[in-house]
Amino acid sequence: MTTPTRRSARVTKAPERLAAPAATPGATTPRKRAKQPAGAASAFASPLSSRAKRQKTATRGRQQNARRAVADDDDDDDNESDGEESGQDEDADESQNNSSSSSADDDDDGDSDFGQREGVGRLRGTKQTPRKVTAPKGKQARAAKPRAQHGSNTAAGSNAQPSLLLNAILDEHMAVSQVVVDWIASYRRSSETDSATTELINFLIRLSGCPGQITSSDLYEVEQIESVLGTLQEQAIAALKRGGGDGEADGDDMLMGRSKEQRRFRRNALQFVQRLVVDGQHHLVFGDVSEESGLSAFVEIVLQWLVSMAASHYRPFRHVATLFALAMQSALVGVRARIAGELQTTHRQLDAESARRRAPAAGASRLRDRVAVLAQQDDVAAAAFKALYDTVFVYRYRDIHATIRAECLVPLASWCRGYAPAYLNTEHLRYLGWALNDRDARVREAALAAALGPLLLGKPAQLTAGAVGSGVGAPA
């Protein structure tokens, strides 16, 4: 008997390994399952697990529906409670004659209900955020703030008295020269001299942003000038604050603005002062001269008010008085330069008459009289300039505000250039040198522009937009 091969032995053993176990009595034979892919085995391995997932999903849906129903009920309850509270508030309003407390309660109820409505919104999956109200900033905030209007349409107070000079200069169709002629004609009438001078002082007061005014009886009360200005200052600050201004900061906006209309008004106002002194010099500067002070009656009374305003604690008063004094000084320098030219011509004519062998006595005598008159006029103009220089310029040059300090520099350079024999000296040039070392950059720039413009080249100072300067210009 031959030995079977290894393969045949393996065949014979296979039925033994694959043989099914013996069936027990009463047991059923399990059904043979189809072979599943490896990837799908995990998904369908247990039919019980998929059924449990479907039951869990259905349970979750039922819970969400229940929550939504509860949220809807809560919302309806809140609306009903709000309606009841609003009805109670309306009854309270009727009983209390629409008092403000009921409206405040309604606002509080609305705020308390907002949190509940926000919670409901979260349950519904919607986002409810309160509207944010932001305050205006920058230019919008400044535009929203009311500001005081000046001039003929002033909001400094509806009780402000009208100023004839101010309205005339603000009028675009009125020439400054015509305003000067009308005022001088009014001043020359003896019955209107005081009223014309009072109108001029009120013009300065109105330029300072003050709605008040003085009367002819207050004009010559020298001892009461400070008290009158104090009262006017309080009125100006109160009126400007009522109009939305910032008190002292907005007092002289008419002379400090950068708009086209404001620059034109500033130029016309300063030109009016200069033309007033130049065209009315024979009546305002050289007429009715006092022997004690060497000043005319007009210069004396105006000087008293200018000095008091320039020494005031109210900055707009100091600023306006400084500009007015500087314009008068520039006009006086021009008058002195004209007188010097006429004196030179008259001396030359007198020398020519004296050189003749048979010179007529009447012609030489007339020229000598003319020289004497011109010399006297030069002395009066020099005295008026020095009075303004010593009482206004010297003190305002050291003012605490850089704007007022810078205002003094351009006119100073124009004086030195306009009448060099009298003002181009160390007594006046030292102020320009000191201003070059000022702590404020705007003042240093104004000093440099004044030295390079009016002083050296005889041209108006060219200042940048951020700098300040009087802009009075060369003497008329």
Q: Residue 7 has which token pair? A: 């393969």
Kindly give, in sequence order, each residue whose CB lies less than 8 Å from that of residue 29, ignoring residues fewer than 6 positions away: 23
Q: What's the confidence (pLDDT) of residue 422?
A: 93
Q: Residue 335 has which token pair? A: 């008058």
CA dihedral 81, 87, 91, 93 (to 10 degrees): 90
Enter the pTM of the model. 0.64
Q: What's the confidence (pLDDT) of residue 244?
A: 58
Q: Is the pLDDT of residue 98 over 80?
A: no
CA dihedral 200, 206, 211, 214 (to 10 degrees): -20
Q: Are 403 and 316 in contact (CB under 8 A)?
A: no
Q: Residue 456 has which token pair? A: 């050296």
Query: How many other C-beta atoms can be found within 10 angstroms of the C-beta atom of residue 29?
Result: 7
Q: Residue written as tokens 């009223």?
A: 195
Alpha helices in 125-259 (DSSP H): 139-144, 164-170, 176-188, 193-207, 216-219, 225-242, 253-256
d(CA 235, CA 109): 47
Q: Residue written as tokens 């003749």?
A: 356
d(CA 205, CA 202): 5
Q: What's the confidence (pLDDT) of residue 451?
A: 87
The one-character DSSP state at 268 is H
Q: Are 148 and 244 in contact (CB under 8 A)?
A: yes
Question: What percentage of residues in the chain have a pLDDT greater than 90?
Answer: 37
Q: What is the mean pLDDT of residues 443-457?
A: 86
Question: What percentage of residues in the chain have a pLDDT greater than 70?
Answer: 61
Query: How many other C-beta atoms can be found within 10 angstroms of the C-beta atom of residue 400?
Result: 8
Ramachandran angles phi, psi of 296, nearest 5°: -75, 165
> b/e string for 67-91 if b means 16 or more Cβ within 10 A?
eeeebeeebeeeeeeeeeeeeebee
Q: Is the pLDDT of residue 69 over 90?
A: no
Closest CA to 249 of 260, 236, 267: 236
Looking at this protein, which amino acid is placed at residue 156?
Answer: A
Q: What is the mean pLDDT of residues 120-136?
A: 44
Answer left, alpha or beta for residue 458, where phi above 0 means left and psi between -120 and 50 means alpha.
left
CA dihedral 93, 99, 102, 103 (to 10 degrees): 110
Q: What's the confidence (pLDDT) of residue 387?
A: 96
Sign of CA dihedral 45, 49, 53, 54: positive
More confident of the two residues 85 and 354? 354
The one-character DSSP state at 440 is S
- Annotate 287-302 with DSSP letters as a single string: SSB-TTT--BHHHHHH
Q: Residue 46 has which token pair? A: 């247990």
Q: Residue 217 has which token pair? A: 């009886």
Q: Which of 82-91, 160-169, 335-344 has the lowest mean pLDDT?
A: 82-91
Beta bridge partners of 296: 289
- For the chain, the helix, strand and coil percentages under 3-state DSSP, each to the nearest 5: 70, 0, 30
Q: Is the pLDDT of residue 405 over 80?
A: yes
d(CA 204, CA 405): 19
CA dihedral 76, 82, 83, 84 (to 10 degrees): 110
pLDDT tens per residue, range 23-65? 444 444 444 444 444 444 444 444 445 566 666 677 777 777 7
Q: Residue 90 has which token pair? A: 């309306």
With 0-12 CB in 10 A as exposed, 13-18 as middle and 19+ as buried, what is 424? Answer: middle
Q: Is the pLDDT of residue 160 over 90?
A: no
Q: What's the confidence (pLDDT) of residue 380?
A: 95
Closest CA to 339 of 422, 457, 428, 429: 422
Sign of CA dihedral 330, 333, 335, 338: negative
Q: What's the confidence (pLDDT) of residue 322?
A: 95
C-alpha 343 chain-centroid distance: 50
Q: Residue 108 has which token pair? A: 């509080």
Q: Residue 61 has which token pair? A: 């849906």
d(CA 137, CA 144): 10
Q: Residue 423 has which token pair? A: 């003002």
Q: Is the pLDDT of residue 179 over 70?
A: yes
